[in-house]
Amino acid sequence: MTRHVTGASAFQNCGVFFVKMVSYKRLSPEDVQFSNTAASEEPPEEVTEVKAPEESERPLLPRRPSCSATTAIISLGFLLLMASGIWLLGTIFWLHAPSSSAPHMAPPPRPSPGVGKAIPDPQACAGVPEAWRFDCYPERGVVVTRELCEARNCCFIPASSPPPVRNSVPWCFYSPTFPSYSLVSLNQTEQGEVGTLVRTVKTYYPKDVLTLQLEVLYETDHRLRVRISDPSASRFEVPIAVPNATEKASSPAYSVELSKDPFGLVVKRTSSGTVLLNTTVAPLFFCDQFLQLSSSLSSQYVYGLGEHRSSFLHDIHWNTLTMWARDAAPMELTNLYGAHPFYLTMEEGGRGTAHGFFLLNSNAMDVVLQPGPAVTWRTIGGILDFYVFLGPDPASVIGQYLEVVGYPSMPVYWALGYHLCRWGYGSSSATWDVVKNMRNYGIPQDVQWNDIDYMDHALDFTFDPANFSTLPDMVKDLHNHGQRYVMILDPGISSVQQEGRYWPYDEGLKRGVFINHSDGKTLIGKVWPGQTAFPDFSDPVTHEWWYDNLKRFHDQVPFDGLWIDMNEPSNFVDGSTVGCPDNELENPPYTPGVLGGLLRAKTVCASALQKTSLHYNMHSLYGLLEAKASANALRRILGKRAFVISRSTFPSQGLYSGHWLGDNRSHWKDMYTSIAGMLTFNLLGVPLVGADVCGFSEQSDEELCVRWTQLGAFYPFSRNHNTLGEPAQDPTAFSPLARAAMRQSLLLRYSLFPLLYTLFHRAHTHGHTVARPLLFEFPEDVRTYGIDKQFLWGRSLLVTPVLDPGVDYVVGYFPQGLWYDYYTGDSVRSKGEELRLHAPLDKINLYLREGAIIPTQRPNTTLWVSSGQPLHLISCLTEDGSATGELFWDDGESLDTFETDQYAEIVFSVVKNTMTSEVLRDHVEASYMTVETASIYGVKSKPSRVTVNSHDAAFSYRDNQVLTVTDLGLNLSQNFTISWM
């Protein structure tokens, strides 16, 4: 790394961190240091250093060279080639065309007064390897020519044939000398440093902010925060609560270097020197509606960045992930329902270290991953406010991220049962019949749902007086059987009902709760009931109005939870029924790759007015704020934990709701991709997540539905949901064999409820994941980094579902160690290898990891009954005969039981042929529970004697080294000991 320390540099060395203000040339790829050469196996070409002119002399636009005859001939040939290329490009379209009009084109070249042209040095351009070319012309729908590119003072090199399309090597990219900001001052503060950044050459986007404020905040030893903002004007900042440090971390695990000219930030892990963040690889942009920050990545292993349909491990080969909440059935390369600008990266070197990055920004954005490896954040509003989390293990990274955005709430117990829904039951009687059939077949079910067909003409807070006249009676019957009822609500409120006939709209209009057009009038869109107004959930007045509506409806139909859908918000027309203004908010200088090509596509106008800010800034927050209003209202109405499932999500969502993965299809591929979605949302702090079991749209066949029910039994949130017009796909709709297999898998889920409930407690109190990728438990095993066909519950239960049709086996990867078959206790010692497992149609393979003790219980058809059944403890011994586990238990529904110490916590352990329980905290709920049986897997020889609290006990021992002790009758509230010799 070429580094020139100037006399004006500031240097500080305090503890294990240091900050340098240094003067860099633009870093070339070979200057980026990785912790392992695997990050860039082919050495990049050497870049010839070109002396940059003084800032005052740097031209924005290239200066044309003189033209010779030879040059003219070459140029003519090139023009012919370009004409042919343009003709070919006539047949190439972007993945998603605009929904109603052409995409907004790139702004024309805009030189500063007095600035001439200077084409980037060809030798310097040629020296930039393809993997490190940062796109200088990212606008979609534009055929980028040499003239257009060089008008931006950028390099133009046709990298390959055919011409570039989305997600490929850019032909137009920044030169090593492209103008950026300079760091002109740096001062120490109580939390870190504050500096001033200055740009003297304007960019090709309008309204450059030429002077910026830099804040570097050493918030904790494992959390660094950096803010880049406009000191002269207030800009939108995301209105979620985040912690504010009051003093500088004493012993940070990171060091920070600040380059002076051009400005850049380099963050390293002090223990290894690994570069976690290096923004010197490309220029910084900060315009009114275009902010861009690029950085090297420490490896190719990148996760998170929801919500997108993809593999769990993201592809970094020119992969653009767009974030702007959108009503779109899950498909690849598309912005979906939520926006989560957070990633986790496993670092190179095989040490299992990880770090995370979070950009606190809600505006429309593109996140570009390229094979450098590198990332570019490109957003069209707000500020650059980002965090780096040091881990060092992946689970710690997630915990540190959730310390910022909030730990997920503790779910009500019945949320973890089996849920059943469909669009098109048609009546409350038909809905009720399905519930009764489930009971008759002894199939577990805790919650019955209704889609929009329960409403009167699709009007929120109503029910069809003819077809759903018995809905209140059905809900009463559910409650009598220990079951619960959830119904859908959409945010669109009908605006065309006769005055005085529809209280939600009349009252909402009176209180002024709806989103307005830019002219101040109520914005009207179109959703299921026809013309609708959209509540502004950024306004506290709207929250009270929402509560009043829910309370009025609850007095008629005593529902237990809410399903909030269409809350991106979704709109059947673009913007509004009268369109949107033609302004820079609707047509920004740069539009990220949103489905439809326009910010207003299938949602409300970007220029619409909300209480907190413009919809342009608030759009992706809509689902979060509606979930907050809904959860708070339910707590007031019920006096218990709220159950809310939301389609649109944003960071902090787990505080208020869970999430389902949207309108999937009844395809095997959709079942497979649901695992990646589930794991990703656990990283994002929304552990109560699952996909529609058996698929939402199209018809599910019997084999697919059986296999999906087996997988769905291990979604943290498990719901079977079906679309209008398709055959029923609830378990009672299939053959006796299929029905029995589904019932067995659901009973299995219910038997594991104590484990699942305890995992949610750990998520709520410590930010742990519930459904967990293998790499979290085996971060030093690189083979786990791409696994998304298997997953863990917690640290110990390995789930290996069948994801292909017509097979009776499945291949699963077993990390190094001792594993036990959950059902039999048979052991497998793996060296870190794939194993072929028998998987008939009625079985999902489960294995337990050595060293675990998990609590299970006798299952029943509802969790209300199951949760009172006796416990069965399964201990899985390590080679030295040890194991540990825990159980969290409370009444399952009261608010803040952990925070108010209204819970029981028991720790189990096995050491030297003795199993003990220790009651860390007692509670009356635990006194109702007994431990009936205990199985110990891995007891190497048959005991001659077993004692329970020093009294002889009956036992059995099998040749596969499983010891079982039955008829224990031990009170969970009292310590006990089981010994064998």
Neighbours of 945 (CB within 10 A): 10
Q: Is the pLDDT of residue 18 over 60?
A: no
Q: Among residues 707, 713, 712, which one has the least CA distance to residue 674?
A: 712
Report, as residue numbers or ranges, the catalytic residues.
Answer: 565, 568
Alpha-carbon distance of 639 to 625, in angstroms, equals 21
pLDDT at 111: 38
Count of other CB atoms within 10 angstroms of residue 158: 16
More confident residue, 54 or 754: 754
Residue 552, phi then psi, degrees to nearest 5: -60, -40
67 has pLDDT over 70:
no
**C-alpha distance from residue 693 to each of 666, 696, 723, 744, 873 (Å):** 9, 8, 12, 16, 29
Say if residue 927's pLDDT is above 70: yes
Taking each helix axis from N to C end, the angle separating 736-751 and 702-712, rounded to the nearest 10 degrees, works out to: 10
Q: What does the pLDDT read at residue 351?
A: 84
User: How high is the pLDDT of residue 347?
Assistant: 96
Strands (E) located in 695-801:
718-720, 771-772, 791-793, 797-800
What is the per-residue pLDDT for 166? 64
The C-alpha atoms of residue 319 and residue 376 are separated, in whole angstroms, by 11
**135: which residues sit within 8 A by CB, 6+ positions away?**
170, 172, 173, 368, 376
Q: How confident is residue 117, by pLDDT bands cut at 50, 70 and 90?
A: low
pLDDT at position 47 over 90? no
Read off the pLDDT of residues 811-857 as tens digits, 9 standing for 90 and up: 999 999 999 999 999 999 999 999 999 999 999 999 999 999 999 99
- Token pair for 914: 């003795």
Band of the pLDDT at 27, cuts 50, 70, 90? low
**What is the arithmetic mean of pLDDT over 398-409?**
98
Residue 517 has pLDDT above 50, yes or no: yes
- Percent of the chain beyond pLDDT 90? 86
How wide is the angle at C-alpha 270 spanned by C-alphas 265 and 275, nearest 5°?
A: 45
Percent of the chain with pLDDT over 70: 87
Cβ pair 407, 243 in contact under 8 A: no
Q: How many angstroms separate the CA atoms of 568 and 337, rounded?
A: 6
Contact call for residues 606 and 600 (beta carbons, < 8 A): yes
**Is 626's pLDDT higher than 70?**
yes
Handedness of CA 54, 59, 62, 63 (dihedral sign): negative
pLDDT at position 159: 77
DSSP3 helix / strand / coil % (the chain, rounded to 5): 20, 25, 50
Asked if residue 261 has pLDDT above 50, the reply is yes
Rounded Cα distance between 81 and 889, Å, is: 72
Average pLDDT over residues 681-692: 98
Query: What residues contact residue 706 under an 8 Å CB cut-off, 6+ apart?
Result: 734, 738, 741, 742, 841, 842
pLDDT interval class at 161 (50, 70, 90): low
Residue 534's closest CA among 558, 564, 559, 555?
564
CA distance 408 to 716: 13
Mean local confidence (pLDDT), 907-913: 97
Q: What is the mean pLDDT of residues 776-793?
A: 97
- DSSP, residue by residue, 767-778: ---SEE-HHHH-
Sort 56 into a burial class: Cβ within 10 Å, 0-12 / 13-18 / 19+: exposed
Where residue 184 falls among pLDDT bands split at 50, 70, 90?
Answer: very high
pLDDT of residue 119: 81
Tokens 């410590």 belong to 766
Q: In DSSP terms, which residues pair with 533 in a beta bridge? A: 493, 524
More reliable by pLDDT, 68 or 619: 619
Q: In sequence order, what are the residues at sequence separation of 6 or more whose Cβ sits closer than 8 angstroms to the Cβ of residue 278?
A: 27, 32, 264, 265, 266, 267, 295, 296
Would you state the pLDDT for residue 163?
Answer: 57
504 φ, ψ (degrees, to nearest 5):
-55, -40
- pLDDT at residue 822, rounded to an integer: 98
Question: Among the listed ranges 30-44, 233-247, 933-947, which one has the minimum average pLDDT value?
Answer: 30-44
- H helix intervals, 441-537: 471-480, 503-511
| Nearest CA-CA partner of 272 in 245, 290, 299 | 299
Q: What is the mean pLDDT of residues 714-723?
A: 98
- Give the model confidence (pLDDT) of 289-344 as tens digits: 999 999 999 999 999 999 999 999 999 999 999 999 999 999 999 999 999 999 99
CA distances from 720 to 449, 481, 823 (A): 10, 20, 25
Q: Which is more confident, 887 or 17? A: 887
Q: Over 90: is that where the pLDDT of 109 sits?
A: no
Closest C-alpha among 382, 334, 342 to residue 359: 342
Strand 254-259 relative to strand 17-24, pairing: parallel
Q: Rounded to an integer, what distance in angstroms lies between the CA atom of residue 610 and that of residue 620?
A: 13
Integer Cα distance of 891 and 421 in angstroms = 27
Beta bridge partners of 838: 809
- Cα radius of gyration (the chain): 30
Per residue in 344-377, pLDDT (tens digit) is 999 987 689 999 999 999 999 999 999 999 999 9
At residue 164, the pLDDT reads 56
Residue 475 clears pLDDT 60, i.e. is over it = yes
Q: Yes or no: say if 719 and 692 are a contact pair by the CB < 8 Å rule.
A: yes
DSSP state of 918: E
Residues 6+ apart with CB under 8 A from 936: 875, 877, 910, 915, 962, 963, 964, 980
Mean pLDDT of 164-186: 90
Which pair of tokens denotes residue 957?
Answer: 């021992």
Instruction: Give the mean pLDDT of 946-955.
Output: 97
Q: How far apart are CA 262 and CA 285, in angstroms?
A: 12
Q: 276-287: per-residue pLDDT in tens?
A: 999 999 999 999
Lowest mean pLDDT among 60-74, 396-410, 645-659: 60-74
**Paired sense of beta strands 374-379 and 447-450, if any:** unpaired
Q: How high does pLDDT run on average in the chain?
A: 90
Beta bridge partners of 829: 818
Q: Is 199 in contact with 184 (CB distance < 8 Å)?
A: no
Distances (CA, A) of 292 to 228, 384, 433, 455, 615: 11, 9, 56, 46, 21
